Structure 1
Amino acid sequence: MRLDIAIIGSGFSALSAACYLAKDGHDVTIFEKNKTIGGRARQLKKEGFTFDIGPTWYWMPDVFERFFADFGKQPSDYYLLEKLNPAYSVYFGKDDFITIEDTLEKICKTFEKEEPGSSQKLKKFIANAQHNYDVAIKDLVYRPGVSPFELMTPVTIKKLDQFFSTIKKDVRKEFKNDRLAKILEFPVLFLGAKPDNTPSFYSFMNYADFGIGTFHPKKGMYEVILAMEKLAKSLGVNIKTETSVDKILITDGKATGIVSKGDTYTCDIVLSGADYHHSETLLDKKYRQYSEAYWEKKVFAPSSLLFYVAFDKKLKNVNHHTLFFDVDFEVHAKEIYDTPKWPENPLFYASFPSLTDKSVAPVGQEAGIFLIPLAPGLEDTEELRTLYFDKIIQRFENLTSQNVKNNIIFKESFCVKDFIEDYNSYKGNAYGMANTLMQTAFLRPKLKSKKVNNLYFTGQLTVPGPGVPPSLISGKLVAELIKKHHTLKAHESAI
């Protein structure tokens, strides 16, 4: 049965769902509030520089390959992918850093040099992480979060202890060197929670890091969005930009359309890839599944203060991805999760894509992206943004032994207020809801509304969770759920 489907938003999950639904023969229209598509994965272009506004890490290439393969395509049909070497470096002090290269063998040598005997432990740790990756990324995350029994397989039952221990506990048990432990704890930050609140099973992120590696799409992560747009349009998807949705229409307990700028669009199904909390505010209160108290109690991934900086010279002593762990991570983590406030001494991350990709900055110049993780919901002022830019640039200059502040052509910033204004993000969160034990799989907000028929959700606040690969998967899961429910309905009608 051919259905008219309205999709709110055009991020990774919405575009993914649109492609699958169009492939199934439905009429799909995307409604995007901003001028350009991509959701959080938009792009800033200015004075010859190109910056990814959102995600900058390309991990789990197999998930992207699996997505495009579902349509008889491959990533290389749309964009060029380069494996980074080194993958990234981590600063712990002035001129004091550890570089993570592009193979496990090289990384083992780095670990051994830092802590004799650690390479064998690392191989064992990554072997377990790889097994978890095979279980999770090739199977479990492709389940819709409908029932707790989805997690109960012969393999996961054997690994039950890994759902009740934590990444931090496992890492610190094996690695006594604090610097190496921090590097192993770092990948789970992509899941939006502290290592001591993330189940051991999520060590599959370490395999994504050390076992598979870090990649860069030429011209930036936005190339993936453009690839998905091209695919979607080839399948017949209609995309409307600058078309914000003001209300989801309900008739007799069923979603029947949306209202945008006073215009009504009728449809058979509404699917929101926008922020889940915001999506429910488009409904009358009686149709909302989750109360304000529900959202307030949830553990949200951090927000971010981001700077997009153009330098008039090439920088030294940095890699494409560079992490700055020269301050106490525990203190900063508490200032995000436990007692939310602006951090006294924040960790920060920097990306310099122009070191790899000549297309993103003029010759002899550098594009830099700086990110400070923050608690969502904080006060956000220009004065605070300036204060924190000065803080991290001063540290950056000291740690990397170079002067850069007088070489800045321009800088743009993005923070809590922008996440709220541009993406209707709950409290200005950047990554959605954290993947803690009590917010995993069936314990996350549902893909299908429990109160309204024909209303569905996708994205980082539902299953599987935060991150680009999970968002691609989320789009597939909701499309499959729609197909299942409406094939069943058509069958019942025929009977």
Structure 2
Amino acid sequence: MRKNIKIIGSGFSALAAACYLAKEGNKVTIYEKNSTIGGRARQLKKDGFTFDIGPTWYWMPDVFERFFNDFGKKPSDYYELIKLSPAYQVYFGVNEFVTIADNLPEIITTFESVEKGSGEKLASFMKEAQSNYDIAIKDLVYRPGVSPLELITVETALKVNQFFGNISKDIRRRFKNKKLVQILEFPVLFLGAKPSDTPSFYNFMNFADFGLGTWHPKNGMYSVVLAMEQLAKELGVTINVNSNIEKIEVTDGKATALVVNGERVSADIILSGADYHHSETLLDEKHRAYSEKYWEKKTFAPSSLLFYVGFDKKIENVEHHSLFFDVDFDVHAQDIYDNPKWPKDPLFYASFPSKTDSNSAPEGKEAAIFLIPLAPGLNDTNELRETYFEKIMTRLENLTQQSLKNNIIFKESFCVNDFIKDYNSYKGNAYGMANTLLQTAFLRPKLKSKKVKSLYFTGQLTVPGPGVPPALISGKLVADLIKKHR
């Protein structure tokens, strides 16, 4: 029977769910509070420059292909993909960096040149990572987190010890060189927790990195949002922007309507792709499945301080994706997870999309995105933002041996307060809830409300977890549950 389904938010998971639900013949309407769609993956345009506000890494191309294939389409029907070569560069000091190539044989050679014997160890490690990738991404993550039995398969039974070990110990047991250790630990940060708190099984992220490569959609990650919007509209989805949800109405234990900009709109089913914690605050307290105490105890992925900067010249000695690990990785991690505070010397990441994509900046100029990971819930002021911009720009000039501060045309910033204001993000987190052992699969907040009938959730605080590919999968999983709805 055709259902009237209302969806809160228009991020990757909400758009994915909308496509699947519309394909089943349902009447699907999306409500987005902001003036443009995409959730955290919006776009900033200024003075001829174009920036992705949110995600900038396109990993796991197979997940995107699987999504579009479900509709008889492929990514190339909507956007052009460019494989980055090199994938990225990691800076450890002045003229001290490691370049990660776009293929595994070259990466193995690079490792061997840094630490004798590590090439062979990396080849072995990557076989294990690929095996885990095949189990996780092709199977386990497409399970809805309803039961612990979902994790029990012939393949996982053989790897049970990897769920109780951790990535950090696993890597350090094989590799001694600190630079190589940090490069191998880096992909796990996308899962939102310290490598020492992330199960060994998640080394499949290393295969996503070295095995599948790093890609760039022409015109940025927002191209993927626009592709999904186009697909959704082709399937009959209605999308409303500037539509703030004020309440989820419940009648006789069933979600029956949304209050949007003061108006009541009825629904057979309500799905929220907005922040899970915020979504539950739209319910009367008695209908909420998770208490404030529950959320307080959870390990959240970091927030971020982001800068979007236009330079009046091309920047030298950097790659499209550049990581600056010239300070102590472990100390910064402690400042995020163990003793939350503004880090004295932060690691930071920079993306220079105009190195690859001429549409990102006017000719002869450079677009730059800088990101400092931070603990969620920190005090966020303009003064602190300025202090940290000065810190990273000074280091960038020093590490790349060039003058840059006088070449800034403009800069915009985005931090904890903006994540809260624009996305109703719990404590201003940027990536959702971390994938630690006790926050994996069936131990994450549920896709289906435990207290209210006809109410569902999707996105990075539920199954399968943080990241863009998991968001696409989350949309599919919740759509499958709704399909079985009675």
TM-score normalized with structure 1 length: 0.98
For 1:211 and 1:18, the matched residues in 2 are separated by 31
User: What's the CA shift for 1:95?
Assistant: 1.4
Flag as ranges the 4+ runs of structure 1 deviating above 4 A. Answer: none
Q: Secondary structure at the match of 1:259?
A: strand
What pairs with 1:239-250 in structure 2 (closer than 5 Å)?
Answer: 239-250=239-250
Q: Report the counterpart of residue 359 of structure 1 in structure 2.
A: 359
User: What's the CA shift for 1:262?
Assistant: 1.1
Q: Residue deviations 1:202-248, cap 9 Å, x none?
A: 00000000001000000000000000000000000000000010000
What pairs with 1:18-167 in structure 2 (closer than 5 Å)?
Answer: 18-167=18-167
Q: Report the counterpart of residue 314 of structure 1 in structure 2.
A: 314
What amino acid is the match of 2:312? D
Q: Residue deviations 1:136-178, cap 9 Å, x none?
A: 0000000000000000001001100000000001000000111
For 1:147 and 1:153, the matched residues in 2 are separated by 13
Q: Report the counterpart of residue 371 of structure 1 in structure 2.
A: 371
For 2:20 and 2:182, the matched residues in 1 are separated by 39
Q: Report the counterpart of residue 442 of structure 2 in structure 1.
A: 442
Q: Report the counterpart of residue 493 of structure 1 in structure 2.
A: none
* 1:467 aligns to 2:467 (yes or no): yes
For 1:341 and 1:186, the matched residues in 2 are separated by 21
For 1:209 and 1:261, the matched residues in 2 are separated by 43
Q: Residue deviations 1:387-444, cap 9 Å, x none?
A: 0000000001001111100000000000000000000000000000000000000000
User: What's the CA shift for 1:484?
Assistant: 1.4
* 1:268 aligns to 2:268 (yes or no): yes
Q: Report the counterpart of residue 220 of structure 2 in structure 1.
A: 220
Aligned residues: 486
Q: Report the counterpart of residue 193 of structure 1 in structure 2.
A: 193
For 1:379 and 1:187, the matched residues in 2 are separated by 27
For 1:38 and 1:282, the matched residues in 2 are separated by 21
For 1:260 and 1:28, the matched residues in 2 are separated by 15
What amino acid is the match of 2:208? A
For 1:185 and 1:313, the matched residues in 2 are separated by 33
What amino acid is the match of 2:306? L
User: What's the CA shift for 1:99?
Assistant: 0.2
Percent identity at matched positions? 73
What amino acid is the match of 1:204? F
For 1:311 and 1:262, the matched residues in 2 are separated by 43
User: What's the CA shift for 1:261?
Assistant: 1.5
For 1:399 and 1:346, the matched residues in 2 are separated by 14
* 1:458 aligns to 2:422 (yes or no): no
Q: Secondary structure at the match of 2:483?
A: helix
For 1:395 and 1:35, the matched residues in 2 are separated by 36
Q: Unaligned regions of 5+ residues in structure 2, if any? A: none
Q: Report the counterpart of residue 299 of structure 2 in structure 1.
A: 299
For 2:140 and 2:225, the matched residues in 1 are separated by 25
For 1:286 and 1:154, the matched residues in 2 are separated by 41
What amino acid is the match of 1:119? G
Q: Report the counterpart of residue 282 of structure 2 in structure 1.
A: 282
Q: Secondary structure at the match of 2:28?
A: strand
Q: Secondary structure at the match of 1:466?
A: coil
Q: Secondary structure at the match of 1:406?
A: helix
What amino acid is the match of 2:247? K
Q: Report the counterpart of residue 4 of structure 2 in structure 1.
A: 4
What amino acid is the match of 2:215? F
Q: Secondary structure at the match of 1:89?
A: strand
Q: Unaligned regions of 5+ residues in structure 1, if any? A: 490-495
What amino acid is the match of 1:351? S
Q: Secondary structure at the match of 1:16?
A: helix
For 2:216 and 2:249, the matched residues in 1 are separated by 41
For 2:261 and 2:125, the matched residues in 1 are separated by 54
Q: Secondary structure at the match of 2:156?
A: helix
Q: Secondary structure at the match of 1:446?
A: coil
Q: Report the counterpart of residue 398 of structure 2 in structure 1.
A: 398
Q: Report the counterpart of residue 206 of structure 1 in structure 2.
A: 206
User: What's the CA shift for 1:260?
Assistant: 1.1
Q: Secondary structure at the match of 1:246?
A: strand
Q: Residue deviations 1:238-279, cap 9 Å, x none?
A: 000000100001010000010011100001000000000000
